[in-house]
Amino acid sequence: MKLGIIGSGKIVHDFLSIADQIPNLELAALSTTKRSHQIGLELQEKYNISKLYQDNTDLFNDANVDTVYVAVPNSLHFSIAKAALEAGKNVICEKPFVATTDEARELKEIADKNQVIIVEAITNIYLENFKFIEDNLAKIAPIHVVNLNYTQYSSRYDAFLEGDIQPAFDPKKDGGALMDLGIYNLHIIIKLFGKPDSVKYFPTIQKNIDTSGILHLGYSDKQTSSIAAKDSFSPNVSTIEGEKGALIIYGHPNEMPKVGIQLRGEEPKVVNHNKYSHRMIAEFIEFTKIIDQHDFTVADQAFTHSLNTLAVLQEAKKQR
């Protein structure tokens, strides 16, 4: 996979720090805004990126790029992903995918027309610890209560309170706790249990944005609660509770550093089956395989899951 990256924010820095651990990945190009050109130069030198651009169109026209990683503020995902697909590039789009299911379907139509692949970058469902949760659901079933918690006091929150509104807290750029943190919980719930019967979001609003909130998803046989908070602290323990026992996620749900199972009347068993030290490695190894092997079947399955998740997210956003 010959990757062109659009963006120069924190997630790009995170990814580049582990890119050398992704087999069959070439860092072909990076495109930044003119304002961030100096950062781009530093990243190019540090990570030996072949080309550096200040215009995304130049990256799209680079014949040595076959895949574009869209890692920009949420509000720009659709337009940039669309342009990349129209240029005949595969696309890896950071979470949350796009703003609406209509936008997602439009991107998929373009991808199919041009016989390229589009996937959403969402770390947790590609982790081995998530597979442990999936594999052990039947042991605790029937399941009636799910409580997921992703609370992380944002490094940008103090500046936000002082009036410095950065993209993560900017309603015009589709920021907020639901979009930034809650999306990880939502992917877990939808992947495990499918689309819910009801959606209700209870946000804490400051300066017109949800700095935290609780998302309730109702099913006929279970109730789920998703806490996402950028304005608070928590040790972050999440549980999936059934009649025969419970599954536990210890730590942030985007990383799932440890997981466990405790059957009724027994001691808990805590494990870490994640193969890699960084949360992004597993997903990008999978994306590289999908794209290099032109595995449209797996890509279509991933898209259907992203679409189902986006449908719930879209409904929750209306209630902010």
Confidence band, pLDDT 50/70/90 cuts, at residue 319:
very high
CA separation for the pair 179, 96 (Å, rounded): 6
Q: How confident is the model at residue 308 (pLDDT cuts 50, 70, 90)?
A: very high
Q: Do 76 and 213 belong together in one domain?
A: no
Residue 142 falls inside a structural domain: yes
Say whether both 225 and 111 belong to one domain. Answer: no
Residue 317 in any domain: the answer is no
Q: What is the pLDDT of residues 217-228, one digit of tens each?
A: 999 999 999 999
Residue 150 and residue 239 in one domain: yes
How sure is the predictor about 65, in pLDDT bands with cuts at 50, 70 and 90?
very high
Residues 149 and 258 in one domain: yes
Q: 261 and 239 in one domain? A: yes
Asked if 26 and 38 sit in the same domain, the reply is yes
| Vertex 126 angle, CA 316 and 48, to 5° | 105
Tell me what pLDDT residue 315 has: 97
- Mean pLDDT over each residue of the chain, to the nearest integer: 97
Element (H, E) at 244: none
Query: Angle 201-207-211 (CA atoms, 0-180°, nearest 5)?
Result: 45
Q: pLDDT of 199-208, one tens digit each?
A: 999 999 999 9
Average pLDDT over residues 133-153: 98
Indicate whether 265 and 139 sit together in one domain: yes
**Residue 42 binned pLDDT confidence (cut-offs 50, 70, 90):** very high
Residue 310 placed within a domain: no
Q: What is the structure's pLDDT at 154?
A: 97
**Integer Rg of the chain from CA:** 20
Same domain flag for 151 and 258: yes
Helices (DSSP H) in the chain: which residue ranges? 10-16, 37-47, 56-60, 77-86, 101-113, 128-140, 157-161, 177, 183-193, 279-292, 296-317
- Say which CATH number the domain at 45 has: 3.40.50.720
Q: Are residues 131 and 266 in the same domain?
A: yes
How much is the pLDDT for 49? Answer: 98
Residue 195, token pair as written in the block: 């689309």
Q: What is the mean pLDDT of residues 66-77?
A: 97
**110: in domain:** yes
Asked, for residue 312, whether it belongs to a domain, the answer is no
In this prediction, residues 79-106 reach a mean pLDDT of 98
Q: What is the mean pLDDT of residues 292-315?
A: 98
- Res 210: pLDDT: 98
pTM of this structure:
0.97
237 CB-near residues (< 8 Å, 6+ apart):
149, 248, 249, 250
Confidence of residue 180 (pLDDT cuts 50, 70, 90): very high
Same domain (yes/no): 13, 114: yes
pLDDT of residue 267: 97
Residues 256 and 207 in one domain: yes
Q: What is the CATH number of the domain that holds 154?
A: 3.30.360.10
pLDDT in tens, 297-307: 999 999 999 99
- 236: part of which helix (H) or strand (E)? none
pLDDT at 288: 98
Q: How many domains is the chain partitioned into structurally?
A: 2
Q: 11 in a domain, yes or no?
A: yes
The pLDDT assigned to 275 comes to 98
Q: Which domain holds residue 144?
A: 125-274
Q: State pLDDT tens for residues 225-254.
A: 999 999 999 999 999 999 999 999 999 999
Q: Are residues 197 and 108 in the same domain?
A: no
Q: Cβ(150)–Cβ(185) under 8 Å?
A: yes
Tokens of 208: 């017109």
Task: Please state the rounded mean pLDDT for residues 181-205.
Answer: 98
Is 304 within a domain? no
